[in-house]
Chains A and B, each alone.
Chain A
Amino acid sequence: MSDTNQLLEEITGSEYKYGWTTNIDTETAPKGINAEVIRFISQKKNEPTWMLELRLKAFRHWLTLEEPRHWAKIQYPAINFNDIIYFAAPKPKKQLKNLNEVDPELLKTFEKLGISLEEQKRLSGVESSIAVDAVIDSVSVKTTFKEVLAEKGIIFCSFSEAVQEHPELVKEYMGSVVPYTDNFYAALNAAVFSDGSFCYVPKGVRCPMELSTYFRINSAGTGQFERTLIIADEGAYVSYLEGCTAPKRDENQLHAAVVEIVAHKNAEVKYSTVQNWYPGDKDGKGGIYNFVTKRGICIGNNSKISWTQVETGSAITWKYPSVILKGDNSIGEFYSVAVTNNLQQADTGTKMTHIGKNTRSTIVSKGISAGKSNNSYRGLVRINKGAHNARNFSQCDSLLMGDKCGAHTFPYIEIKDKSAIVEHEATTSKIGEDQLFYCNQRGIETEKAIGLIVNGYCKEVLNQLPMEFAVESQKLLAVSLEGSVG
């Protein structure tokens, strides 16, 4: 046991790979939050008045709310919302026409992150490529493959662009799933959101490539408040991926995003997240507070929304990607791997609200806690009256590595229809010594064996990820946990 413990310490002490910063000229709003700052942001983005009105309305509502610090199983000092810079943008040279005009520093940044902003068409054709919307601090710097997608009628651009060019869509859908009144951070986001991605897939179109947004926090003292809106019209399909990293800093930075998904009749949206914000150092100094509201609505019959998330970063994760199953026969899925290490805290899960008939939802959540971290699953399955034949299956497993961490499960199950079948299972345990022994006996060293077992444990979730990201997240898991055992 002692050498495995040692191994655990070695591994859990592993460094965060994306902790560097880029020197780019940025333009920032003054610190603090008030109507002036909101006007400043709105003006910077050259927004129409209705958008500004919306922001101010949200801001006024936000002022009446109290920071929700106590119900989740997370602990942190109160955030001083006036000590945050709400807008930071790399200084634009001029309007970008092609990649050559993007600040080379920025390009290098994304290259270093392994994100290619060059539209390299591989031999196998466009199909295998991924369209990327790259967001640094508060603005989107570049969206790739826009033209290819436009041919199919797919709109994929930054949120600010959508406000300018597709105001009717933004007006119709923004806030329809996550209204600004939803919660404290949703209100804050609606007031100060800076950018994000917007995606609209028209009727009957199957998006030919994976769409992806890459978020990067770069400037110090800033908060990132992006907003993503995905609309899949009747019969459309889109698979979407989100990735994120941030530099290492001693301060805690706030990230409060909102993601809204609307799936019309027969549409399917798959949303995958690999979250790797800076988690803070071994002593819990620094790191991102990731307070995110994500929700999708299956508004039409036979629609489907699937959330997959691999959560390895952030000092604190507070997010519950949810699905409202309004259309009959609609399907909601939630697959999650949440890894916490050192002093990280995660309180994450999902909400499945069954309203339509024959609605189905599946929840698979795998939590892994190491170091002195706390990892909680918190989920709600709600079967409304009239949601006949609703079906839910939830499975929440927790793996503990070391005796200083905690793993918790808080499922809420509310059923108001007699034809509903709802099952929930949860287990908490450590890596079985007999499993390890079995591997050791066959010549697999402990460290590798653990990687093997953890990967097997998370397989159900990782299998849901698009190919490219499945590989990435497997590596991520390996970095976080290789060799750890309690």
Chain B
Amino acid sequence: MNATVEKIKTGDKFAELFDRLHTQLPGNASIQSIRKNAIAAFLKQGIPTRKNEEYKYSLPEKLFKTNYSLATKLPSLQITADDSKTFDISGITQNKIVLINGFYSQQLSSVNNLTKGVIVSDISTSFEKHAAHIEKHFAKYANVDADPFIALNSALNANGLFIFVPENTVVEQPIHIINIITANELSLIQPRNLFIIEKNAEIKIIESLDAYKLSTNVVVNMVTEISVAEQSKVQYYKLQNDCEKIAQINTTQVYQLENSHFDTNTVTLNGDWVRNNLNIVVDAENCETHLNGLFISKNNQHIDNHTLVDHQKPNCQSNQLYKGVLSGKSTGVFNGKIYVRRDAQKINAYQSSKNILLSDDATINTKPELEIYADDVKCSHGSSTGQLNEDALFYLRARGLSTDSAKRMLLYAFASDAINTIRIDVLKEHIDKLIEKQLIQ
């Protein structure tokens, strides 16, 4: 397959591009109508400017100043099995899914031992093959009117991953999704994923994003929808490492039903310009939601974590902890919102954002928001920014540690809070090592 690329410009160009391309993109009539609806929503909203409150601190305009190519087909570049192994997390190799620019690579993936009934497939073939599930869930959670990038992805996504876990099924071993991004010209890559976890099912997903032979800058606009049905338990870990040339807008839209648990952890250790949108809609009672995040930024990096927990029904709990360590001229953003709808009583929702600035040129912007319409709730948020505790440093220095290692130790302790919640030991160790490596630099 040859790479098909289309030059794009901002604004109306997208409309033109859509007219030319949408018939080539996968999907039957109903998917096409979703695409049409989405492009209209995108054109209405446009690329966010400073005036868009949600993108106030992260201006994507500059990403779209250049003419990108839109990746609509699998790149021609071959990735050998050996090369792809470099992205493995040791200890998690049993269930491995490799996506190249969002395209499912059967030969590099190994998902043979999955429990019966579990479906792992690329989304474009699922449009036909699993039409019933698609009909019920696809594009039902990520609202094209809520965010222009959801709209852009919904209109022009070329491929992505589809996972289905049937009722009463436990996928014991974690599934590692390796998103390999490769390109030799400026590209806009838009993977679109859908994970459906049915009643009383369990799954652990680790998703990493890695660059491979990436000679230019690319923009990845990924949208992942996750449906978490009654009594199910989902652990979802996102590891963003090794993506120096990748600007990414990464939207995760979660929909939770009764008695479900959703745990997620977003670890960003490297990236050019990162915007993570994590939106959770809790639409039933007795749910639990845990969001944790850690980012370590340096140089000119820009890392933005945007969370929204929308409590629509009573008796639920949510917890958020985000930590950031910033050095160089990097910018960090945390914008979290807890929304409690009218009559969603007895909600316990907590949110905490803690940051350390290591350099005078680094900037952190935080905006922890609460929007509460029910009275019998306990909601709180805290945000603090500071530096390493002088006393603690002195304590360690007095015991013979060098300033560097003392600092590293304190920073590691600070960062580890946010990753201690990871319940897959090998993954935790893996991230631990990456953090240590980061802190040494």
Contacts and interface: CB of A to CB of B under 8 A. Distances in A.
Nearest to B358: A418
A407 B372 contact: yes
Nearest to B364: A415
Contacts of B366: 411-413, 424
Interface of A: 71, 385, 398, 400-430, 486
Nearest to A377: B370
25 contacts: A400-B372, A404-B342, A405-B373, A405-B375, A408-B371, A408-B372, A409-B371, A411-B369, A412-B365, A412-B366, A412-B367, A413-B385, A414-B363, A415-B363, A415-B365, A423-B382, A424-B368, A424-B381, A424-B382, A424-B383, A425-B381, A427-B380, A429-B377, A429-B378, A430-B376
A430 B375 contact: yes
Contacts of B400: none
B384 to A, nearest CB: 4
Nearest to A485: B375
A378 B382 CA distance: 15
B51 to A, nearest CB: 9
Contact of B362 (A411, A414, A418): A418
A69 to B, nearest CB: 14
B357 A415 contact: yes
A369 to B, nearest CB: 9
B425 interface: no
Contact of A385 (B342, B360, B386, B387): B360
Residue in B345, B371, B375, B378 whose Cβ sees the most chain A Cβ within 10 Å:
B375
Contacts of A407: 370, 372
A401 B382 contact: no
Nearest to A433: B376
Contacts of B386: 420-422
Interface residues on B, range: 35 or more
A360 to B, nearest CB: 14
Contacts of A417: 357, 360
Contacts of A403: 342-343, 345, 374-376
Interface of B: 53, 342-343, 345, 355, 357-387
A418 B372 CA distance: 33
B360 A418 contact: yes
Q: Which applies to chain A's interface (DSSP): helix, strand, loop or mixed?
A: strand
A405 B380 CA distance: 17
Given A411-B383, A413-B383, A426-B382, A398 B359 contact: no
Given A416-B363, A417-B360, A418-B362, A423 B384 contact: yes
Contacts of A430: 375-377
Contacts of B357: 415, 417-418, 420
Given A422-B383, A428-B380, 8 more contacts: A408-B369, A411-B369, A412-B366, A415-B363, A417-B360, A418-B387, A424-B366, A428-B370
A350 B337 CA distance: 20
Nearest to B379: A428
Contacts of B368: 409, 411, 424, 426
Contact of B370 (A71, A416, A426): A426
A429 B379 contact: yes
A422 B384 contact: yes
Given A407-B372, A416-B363, A425 B385 contact: no
Contact of B385 (A71, A402, A422): A422
A408 B367 CA distance: 13
Nearest to A422: B385
B385 A421 contact: yes
A226 B379 CA distance: 39
Nearest to B334: A413
B55 to A, nearest CB: 14
A430 B372 CA distance: 11
Contacts of B364: 413-415
Contacts of B387: 418-419, 421
Contacts of A421: 384-387
Contacts of A414: 363-365
A420 B369 contact: no
B375 A402 contact: yes
Residue in A418, A422, A423 whose Cβ sees the most chain B Cβ within 10 Å:
A418
A132 B382 CA distance: 41
Nearest to B359: A418
Nearest to B345: A403
Nearest to B356: A418
A410 B380 contact: no
A81 B345 CA distance: 42
Contacts of A428: 370, 372, 377-380
Contacts of B361: 385
Contacts of B365: 412-415
A400 B375 contact: yes
A385 B365 CA distance: 13
B327 to A, nearest CB: 9
Given A385-B360, A421-B387, A422-B386, A409 B373 contact: no
